[in-house]
Amino acid sequence: MNLNNLLDAASFSAKSLKFPNSWVGHLPFASWIMKEVSPKIFVELGTHSGNSYFTFCQSVVEGGLSSKCYAIDTWLGDEHAGHYSDEVFLALMIIIRSTMLVFRD
């Protein structure tokens, strides 16, 4: 375990946060695990508004990792998150296109 990664995670500050904030408490851990494991490919299943996904992406950039990140979701919602319109997906795409171009193939 790299202690510097653990210390960095303790001071992690997400650059993109959108409603809902249900996973915000886990974002420092997400940052730490990404830098610690340094996967070649990362796939998030169930992305919703992208809080955790963008944390993983931010960690790749800040950690100088070569990981490729993918987000998979129907962006229709479900019984737990509620059902929502295309606005959630469109808002996510605006962020990806404007700030995360490094992750596009």
The average pLDDT across 21-48 equals: 90
pLDDT band at 103 (very low <50, low <70, confident <90, very high): low
- C-alpha–C-alpha distance, residues 45 and 27, integer Å: 16
DSSP 41-67: EEEEE--TTSHHHHHHHHHHHHHT---
Token reading at 90: 């469109």
pLDDT at 105 over 50: no
DSSP annotation of 92: H
For the stretch 47-92, pLDDT in tens is: 888 889 999 999 999 889 999 999 998 888 788 777 878 888 888 7
Q: Which pTM was predicted?
A: 0.79
pLDDT of 66 reads 93
- Residue ranges per domain, the chain? 3-103
